Amino acid sequence: MQGQFITLEGTEGGGKSTNLRFIESFLTEQGMDVVVTREPGGTEIGEAVRAILLNNDFSAMCDDAELLLMFAARVQHIQEKIKPALAAGKWVISDRFTDATYAYQGGARGLDMQRIAQIEQWVQQGFQPNLTFIFDLPVEIGMARVLARSQQSGQGIDRFEQEKRSFFEKVRATYLARAQQSPERYEVLDASQPLASVQQTIQTRLQNFL
């Protein structure tokens, strides 16, 4: 049996990490063999690329380099981890995938969407998630959550998290526009609601999906 590929998307502070574990737990209870991963990252090579992409020391990185690094990590992720797991009948849950590239490098950085689509086709050859959850919330709430999280952990914020509010407004708008274009694949969640309410919506969607 072919596995299913679920991705989690949204602006910073939307609660993806917390809800990823909830989804993993729910699917495992249903008897699914689940693989949890993330982008950029997911493989040894991908994690090395992630360290470069998030490093504040590389503020001089040009937008095209950022885009290509994202897809370099992604193609390794797909070939080494995602597709083999799906072929083995496992369910794969990824914290971000290609929608993030359209939102961050396309919508926010302003790179040409058609160029991104061309690289996507070359790398993915039509491969797409079966279901994508978008954790949507007002940008100011998300930024406040990120700041509080960084203060609590003492780890600071990364190269993306330090962007201005206008950057994340564009990210958010791009996600919502993509969800409108393909409503059959996306589930937009109001991530400003209490966690229990968000997770109830997720569970209902997953039950319908199953």
Q: What are phi and psi of 64, to 5 degrees?
A: -65, -40
More confident residue, 210 or 10: 10
Domain count, the chain: 1
- On whether the CB atoms of residues 100 and 160 are closer than 8 A, the answer is no
User: Of 68, 86, 61, 83, nearest to 122 (Cα)?
Assistant: 68
pLDDT in tens, 7-29: 999 998 899 989 999 999 999 99
Grade residue 158 by pLDDT with cuts at 50, 70 and 90: confident
Mean pLDDT of 130-136: 98
CATH classification of the domain holding 142: 3.40.50.300
Q: Residue 85 sits in which domain range?
A: 5-209
Q: What is the sign of the dihedral through the CA atoms of 190, 191, 197 and 198? A: positive
**8-17, 99-108, 151-160: the lowest-pLDDT one:** 151-160
pLDDT in tens, 138-148: 999 988 888 88
Q: pTM for this structure?
A: 0.94
Please enumerate, as own/partner, the contacts of 52-59 that have beta carbons within 8 Å and a separation of 24 or more: 53/159, 53/160, 54/158, 54/159, 54/160, 55/158, 55/159, 56/156, 56/158, 56/159, 56/162, 58/159, 59/159
The torsion of the CA quartet 208, 174, 17, 56, rounded to 10 degrees, works out to 170
Grade residue 160 by pLDDT with cuts at 50, 70 and 90: confident
Residue 18 burial (CB count, 10 A)? 12
Residue 165 burial (CB count, 10 A)? 11
Distance CA 199, CA 195 (A): 6
Query: What pLDDT, on a 0 to 100 scale, did the predictor assign at position 132?
Result: 98
Grade residue 184 by pLDDT with cuts at 50, 70 and 90: very high
Mean pLDDT of 116-136: 98
- On whether the CB atoms of residues 150 and 156 are closer than 8 A, the answer is yes
Query: What pLDDT, on a 0 to 100 scale, did the predictor assign at position 1?
Result: 61
Distance CA 95, CA 47 (A): 13
Query: What pLDDT, on a 0 to 100 scale, did the predictor assign at position 175?
Result: 98
139 exposed, middle or buried (CB, 10 Å; 0-12, 13-18, 19+)? buried
Residue 113 corresponds to which amino acid?
M
DSSP-assigned beta bridge partners for residue 190: 136
